[in-house]
Amino acid sequence: MISCTEFIPAYSELFKYLHAKGGEAAVRDFWNYLSDNFLGNLKSLAEQHGIRGCWMYWSHTLNEEAADFTMELDEDKGKFSIIMHHCPSKGRLLELGHITPYPDYCGHCDVLYRRVLEPLGFECTADLSRTDRAECAFWFRKIPAE
Amino acid sequence: MPKEVMTRQAADNVYLHKDFHGALSRGIDYLHQQFGAEAVREYLWQFATAYYAPLKEDLRRRGLVAIQEHLERVYRTEGAAIQCTRTADELRVEVAACPAVMHLRSQNVPVAELFHETTRTVNAAICDGTPFAAELVAYDPATGRGIQRFYRRPS
């Protein structure tokens, strides 16, 4: 058994394996597949609760992942944000001296979540410019119906 | 409605996100569907060879106690107990129920047909290049109940 505490390096190595098989496109195909087949919980919460569904989803995952973060929900404005002060996943990968993270490891978050939320009428913005320090930020806004 | 803010530091929580088992199961299924069973084994072999390099070195240096300590720690972290029987040349590990499989079942997440390779292939890769070998003696896909055996290769 690969423990869930060892999953992140397994995930990163899977991206490397797929990249060796078919380049960036093969990795993207997998991210799309995972988004379509593994994020049903996020989709259901966003469908049922709107922007609060994002708060509910990440309240669960980020606490279980022991992340260092600030989340903010402004339901009146239909906005939700995550400021990741230190990502536990990328942080672990950077700490491992004997394996190198997949170069675009953090790209999966943007692809996976955007693919679920944009079709539901959410605007998604990501800042991945500081992932080399395990920092990132995501902003989501529910676009009001016309 | 007022804004809601949640701030957490890493030390506020225990790092144990069992839903990661589901992502791994999906990943294995994807490889299986797209590239075949051998790709699943090849990927897991490459992962295990790279990630468990320090454990392989520990196995060479200290013998099977290194594997026993590793597995006891891993299963304890996941909230499961294992039974280990060890001599200098053999380690037998009995797993009553795999915590990864049980979590997937509890969440109604499909368990990949080749999920057992996360034990069989990974153990074999850890032992590769050491005086030891591994085999998955028994495995129940429904629960992950199984017996893992590590043994000194015949000289």
Contacts of A1 in chain B (CB under 8 A): 74-75, 78, 95, 98-100, 118-119, 144
Name the minimum distance, in Å, from the CA of B58 to any CA of chain A. Answer: 14
| Among B10, B16, B26, beta carbon nearest to A4 | B16
CA distances from A26 to A16, A19, B16, B30 (A): 10, 6, 29, 11
Name the minimum distance, in Å, from the CA of B16 to any CA of chain A. Answer: 6
Is B126's Cβ below 8 Å from some Cβ in A? no
The SS3 assignment for B48 reads helix
Q: Which of B:32-71 have CB within 8 Å of A?
A: 34-35, 39, 42-43, 46-47, 50-51, 53-54
CATH class label, B18-152: alpha beta
Q: Name the packing angle between helices A7-38 and B20-35 (round to 10°).
A: 80
pLDDT of residue A20: 98
The rounded distance, in Å, linking the Cα atoms of A62 and B29 is 25
| Closest residue in B to A17 (Cα–Cα) | B43
pLDDT of residue B106: 96
pLDDT of residue B1: 80
Instruction: List all residues 6 or more positions away from B76 whose beta carbon is below 8 Å from its beta carbon.
Output: none
The strand order across the sheet containing B132-139 reads B82-86, B90-95, B146-152, B132-139
Q: Judge whether B75 and B146 are in contact, CB under 8 Å.
A: no
User: For chain B, which residues score pLDDT lower than 70?
Assistant: none
Task: Give me A105's structure tokens.
Answer: 């490891």
Q: What is the CATH number of domain A4-142?
A: 3.30.1380
The rounded distance, in Å, linking the Cα atoms of B151 and B155 is 12
Instruction: Kindly list the domain boundaries of chain A, sorted by start residue.
Output: 4-142
Beta bridge partners of B5: A72
ipTM of the complex: 0.95
Contacts of B38 in chain A (CB under 8 A): none
Mean pLDDT by 10 residues, chain A (146 residues): 95 98 98 96 97 97 94 97 97 95 97 98 98 98 88
